[in-house]
Amino acid sequence: MPPTDANRTPLADNAGPHPWRRYVAIGDSFTEGIGDPVPGTADHRGWADRVAEVLSGQVDDFSYANLAVRGKLIGQIVADQIEPALALKPDLVTFSAGGNDVIRPGSDPDAVAEIFEDAVVRLSSGGATVVVFTGIDTNFTPVFRGIRGKVAIYNENIRAIAEKYDCIVADQWALKEVQDMRFFDDDRLHYNALGHHEVARMVLRTLNVPNDLQPMQPDPIPARTWREARAVDLVWAREYLVPWVLRRVRHQSSGDRITAKRPEALPIVTLAPGPQHGRVPGKGPDASIPPGEKV
């Protein structure tokens, strides 16, 4: 498939129903679905589950595995997930890794990209369609604005690797819709249900798969005084930032003792509930989305 222009790899060229029957997702918390909990359970849904649900609904004999584990660095993902993924013999792989490395002080995005490229070589060896992800533009968030340059460098490396090995690029950097803290969980790091929904829509567009997922409208930002806003920041620092720093100091990870949520490629049996907050355009300003409603 020739590139559509000099700056990005092409969208998938699907003349009819999509060609994939065996999808494997690998990566870290982004792909595991952290920030998008399934109500009443300890499970998380996320964009990959949403994409798999759409793909499964359009063809017969579709199966899906998700090997992603929260908190993993790219070296750990490569060591623990690449071979199990290849053993499942996928024809579609989504690979997002390196974000946890890039956000760490002193990390080198070029060195991280070298590990990423080696993984892409292995993932491409079986002939599967490989989808890779750019990182989000962090300019909108004060917490990560300072690493925007590192993310941009890493993204350019990802694009070059994708061009070299004929991967498809799912471009988070260009996904302006989610550059809004209302699409993020309370930890200010992971997408919430709305964010995962928008990423799923972007991935499906990139794969050129028709779907009926509609854009979501987040609730208005609540009005807060300066004092109230600082109080919210202090709560965030105590509940999320300090534990993150302590894990770094102790060389711990949120993924320690966590295993993949879907290690085998299995059929999609039931649909998980949809986003639990936000609005569907056209349903009125107070129309919340009931659990399980298809959007």
Per-residue pLDDT of 243-255, as tens digits, reads 555 555 556 555 5
Q: What is the domain range of residue 127?
A: 22-227+258-266
In a domain, 271, yes or no: no
Domain with 217 in it: what CATH number? 3.40.50.1110
Question: How sure is the predictor about 105, in pLDDT bands with cuts at 50, 70 and 90?
Answer: confident
List, for residues 116-159, the tens digit of each pLDDT value: 999 999 999 989 999 999 999 999 888 789 999 999 999 999 99
pLDDT exceeds 50 at position 163 = yes
In a domain, 246, yes or no: no
In total, how many domains does the chain have?
1
Q: How far is CA 5 from CA 1, 8, 134, 163, in A?
A: 12, 6, 17, 11
Indicate the residue type of 293.
E
Q: At what angle do helices 46-56 and 193-206 cross, to 10 degrees?
A: 50
Report the distance separating Cα 155 and Cα 160, nearest Å. Answer: 9
Q: Is 295 strand, coil or helix?
A: coil
